[in-house]
C-alpha cells in the first residue's frame, strides 16, 4: 500500500537527499508515481531509475536490491521515522520485513498496516 504523506530521504555524510513522496498519486509532482516528477525513470535520484543508485537492483542504496542495507529512509509529515524503503526482507528496519517493526502488517508503526500509519490518504 502506498501512502502520500511519506517523504523519502537518503542520508549520508554529505547530508540528506530528498527523493520524493512515496505516493500513488500520479499528478503530484513530488510523487514517486509521477513519471514527469519525482518518479521520472531518467532522474538520477529517482527510485524508478534502474540505472541510478536508488533504483538499481545491484546498488546498496537501492529500493530494488533485496540485499541492500543502506536503502532510503521514510519519514511521515511530522518527521517520524517509518523505516527503510527496501525490498530486503531481512533488514530489521525494512518495510519488506514481515516480522520487523516497519514491515509487519500488525505493527502500529508499519506502512503495511491499513489501520495504522498505512492508512491511505488519497
Please state the domain count of the chain.
1
Domain limits for position 113: 1-122
Percent of all residues in the chain with a pLDDT value above 70, rounded to a whole number: 84
Average pLDDT over the chain reads 85
CB-facing half-sphere around the CA of 54: CA atoms within 13 A: 24
pLDDT at residue 2, as a whole number: 40
Of 62, 76, 84, which Cα lies nearest the Cα of 118?
A: 76
Q: Residue 71 above 60 pLDDT?
A: yes
Output the pTM of the full model. Answer: 0.81
Q: How far apart are CA 68 and CA 105, in angstroms?
A: 21
What average pLDDT score do residues 43-67 get? 93
Amino acid at each position: 500500500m502506498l501512502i502520500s504523506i511519506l517523504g523519502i530521504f537518503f542520508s549520508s555524510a554529505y547530508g540528506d537527499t530528498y527523493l520524493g513522496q512515496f505516493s500513488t498519486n500520479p499528478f503530484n509532482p513530488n510523487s514517486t508515481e509521477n513519471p514527469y516528477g519525482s518518479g521520472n525513470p531518467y532522474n538520477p535520484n529517482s527510485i524508478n531509475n534502474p540505472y541510478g543508485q536508488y533504483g538499481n537492483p545491484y546498488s546498496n542504496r537501492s529500493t530494488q536490491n533485496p540485499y541492500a542495507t543502506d536503502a532510503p529512509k521514510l519519514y511521515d509529515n511530522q518527521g517520524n521515522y517509518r523505516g527503510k524503503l527496501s525490498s530486503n526482507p531481512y533488514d530489521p528496519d525494512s518495510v519488506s520485513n514481515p516480522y520487523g517493526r516497519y514491515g509487519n502488517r500488525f505493527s502500529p508503526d508499519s506502512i503495511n498496516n491499513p489501520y495504522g500509519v498505512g492508512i491511505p490518504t488519497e
